[in-house]
Structure 1
């Protein structure tokens, strides 16, 4: 019996592991390959729980890595928030910084790290160790810089096919992602995003509309049913129900021009509440970001707080229209088939052009909300089937592997 090929999956935690891990699980379930996951920083617990074979930077340390370990211990001690896995943090920081020194020299590396922090890392030598150990037949990573970028570059150098999965729009990394030699396949959220990469110079055959597997549970039947129940219990079956998913607005963001207004989310919230109070045909869920202050009960029959106990996807299905500034809830709402209105004015507007990217049906300014609510937008896309993005990404990987075998 022929042994299965090994496919290497590489990602950091948060939204990136949520995007890539379902694909690794699907590949394993179908028997296409043996997935091995290089789980970076906070990705490890999720990968470990899924039972996928896993590596971390701590597994790459060798007895001779005295300099790297010294750097790692020093840098880990300076972290503002202690790492959950100290040894992994020491290995990641140390091997990455030692690689930076080897590529740039000691003084230029120190200057680069002082200016950019971990964004200066591109740990190619550490990733070479992963390739030597795993011998992957295919590499899959999301669009983060640092180790994920290093994995795709190393795959190209070694003649191993690779795919890059975008979690959202790739605005920040557009120049790198648009290069025809950066990964053999680019998996993107929708057709408008695909067209922006083709316009930027990426060959059309390399850009695939797959969606993001992290959002594959949006239309789970249980969430749809819970949404209907929430709406019915509120007595809103015959109303036009809005959901406002707010995002905190920072004053300044590194490398982003302009000044943010921290009061913007609350003013938008107030404008929506005022509009609903004036129109008996409207109702409103207010869902604040976890980092924002908890909202008091508005004390109004048609205005309710969407608490953390209420699953987001159920709340989407309990609504007819979703309002966001730059929250990824807008993306999930679009996948649920809900019309999205983007409220402009955020310092991050240019990185989340939801209307241009086919996510939002319309835009509104702070002063135009009442006027906008006089009309009812219609969603243009059918809801995405549960598991659809995971299967589409898996199909792209299968095609890459078959194309490689054909040469």
Structure 2
């Protein structure tokens, strides 16, 4: 009888962690022989990520009973007026089903007054839809559940699975958790030993209930599959003004975790403009060209306005990120995953105000240079561009500290082992 595996995931980087593992498992002898059945329950923002990659997925909409869930759908319609954003690519019906079923779960557990208070105080962060997950598991007869480290529905899936005695695995993404909750999966994967120690130190995992594995992050597997060689034609086509000069790329972000405030610090427009000015001036002082790439959630108009009339400064928002990093001489970044991607590609990275960012300790791990502050940027950029001996040490640290091969196949084999499928059913056994 086939073992039934269910992935539960939100969108963004979480979906990018899941679909490489699904693809890896589809190459196993267990899947090809019919001994493994896989389903993906995609939360609204993740649906498009799977379907555009040729992978079928289920959504909350597939578990709605139009008669029994009439009240839930009515709540979903009301909540969608606030929380549904058509520009994200999420279909309206998926939003209504997700919001409605999650809110119905709140009502069942806290009553209508309590549910209304929680949604007013915390928005969607109040959701923990255990009743929905019970419904899903009953329908699919699931044996094993895989999630990332996202809270809400993913954490609810782990909670219900553990209560039923099912196998569970959570894949963590970077060096700290989301939402500050204890991840209770029976198996947990980490980017590297540093990440494992940070999750432990932050009290987000418990070795008495979980087994730990350092596998890398599947979302970065695609980095290892693409060449990093420069192509002069690419740069000439996208930024013809650069010529033979060095390129400094600034990967901006709207917020970061503050260890002092113990919460996220959200930049104001003034903060953003001050940082742009400092990075631009420091770059130009070293004879390099300045490119800036805002985070997708940041207001691009602010950057376009600031760039007008600036010397040797250009917006790099729409080009392929892998290609852009391949043609960058130095990346300026804080805690964006672009910084980690650049190090995995063996690019030079200068972490801005590195002491403020222990949650993504690129400089502390020795895989990037660390900036002491904006006043020091001109000399620090010059040093990072010219320091060949230091870059040799950084490359050695990257090879020691960070993964250099696919994480998806490692995680797929862990799952197959936990499902007690024989070794001949694992990855490559039918090759």
Name the TM-score, length of structure 1 as normaliser: 0.83
- Is residue 248–residue 331 contact of structure 2 (8 Å, CA) maintained in 1? yes
| Cα offsets for 1:55-86 (capped at 9, x unmatched) | 21111112322322222222223446358422
Match of 1:320 in 2: 329
- 1:395, distance to aligned residue in structure 2 (A): 2.7
- 1:141, distance to aligned residue in structure 2 (A): 0.6
Residues 80 and 310 (structure 1), Cα distance of their counterparts in 2 relative to 1, 3 Å cut: closer
Match of 1:256 in 2: 263
Match of 2:45 in 1: 42
Q: Secondary structure at the match of 1:37?
A: strand
- Is residue 155–residue 161 contact of structure 1 (8 Å, CA) maintained in 2? yes
Match of 2:378 in 1: 370
CA distance in 1, matches of 2:409, 2:95: 33
Match of 1:7 in 2: 5
Residues 249 and 95 (structure 1), Cα distance of their counterparts in 2 relative to 1, 3 Å cut: closer
Match of 2:418 in 1: 400
Q: Secondary structure at the match of 1:243?
A: strand
Unmatched segments (≥5 aa) in structure 1: none
Residues 359 and 166 (structure 1), Cα distance of their counterparts in 2 relative to 1, 3 Å cut: farther
CA distance in 2, matches of 1:402, 1:216: 26
| Cα offsets for 1:318-361 (capped at 9, x unmatched) | 22332112322111112112232221399x95654544566644
Match of 1:154 in 2: 160
1:216 paired with 2:221, answer: yes
The equivalent position to 1:305 in structure 2, one of 284, 302, 314, is 314
- 1:187, distance to aligned residue in structure 2 (A): 1.5
The 5 A counterparts of 1:47-58 are 47-58=50-61
- Is residue 6–residue 144 contact of structure 2 (8 Å, CA) maintained in 1? yes
CA distance in 2, matches of 1:232, 1:71: 53
CA distance in 2, matches of 1:320, 1:226: 11
The equivalent position to 1:278 in structure 2, one of 285, 290, 302, is 285
- 1:103, distance to aligned residue in structure 2 (A): 1.2
Unmatched segments (≥5 aa) in structure 2: 31-35, 385-389, 424-431
Residues 246 and 61 (structure 1), Cα distance of their counterparts in 2 relative to 1, 3 Å cut: same
Q: Secondary structure at the match of 2:407?
A: helix
Stretch moving more, 389-398 or 329-338: 389-398
- 1:246, distance to aligned residue in structure 2 (A): 1.7
* Cα-Cα RMSD: 3.4
Name the TM-score, length of structure 2 as normaliser: 0.79
Q: Secondary structure at the match of 1:207?
A: strand
Stretch moving more, 231-240 or 98-107: 231-240
- 1:215, distance to aligned residue in structure 2 (A): 1.9
1:381 paired with 2:398, answer: yes
Equivalent residues, number: 391
| Cα offsets for 1:301-326 (capped at 9, x unmatched) | xx453534531111212223321123
Match of 2:351 in 1: 342
Residues 221 and 12 (structure 1), Cα distance of their counterparts in 2 relative to 1, 3 Å cut: closer
Match of 2:63 in 1: 60
Match of 2:429 in 1: none
Stretch moving more, 202-211 or 134-143: 202-211
CA distance in 1, matches of 2:147, 2:199: 18
CA distance in 1, matches of 2:366, 2:112: 46
Q: Secondary structure at the match of 1:35?
A: strand
- Is residue 249–residue 262 contact of structure 1 (8 Å, CA) maintained in 2? no
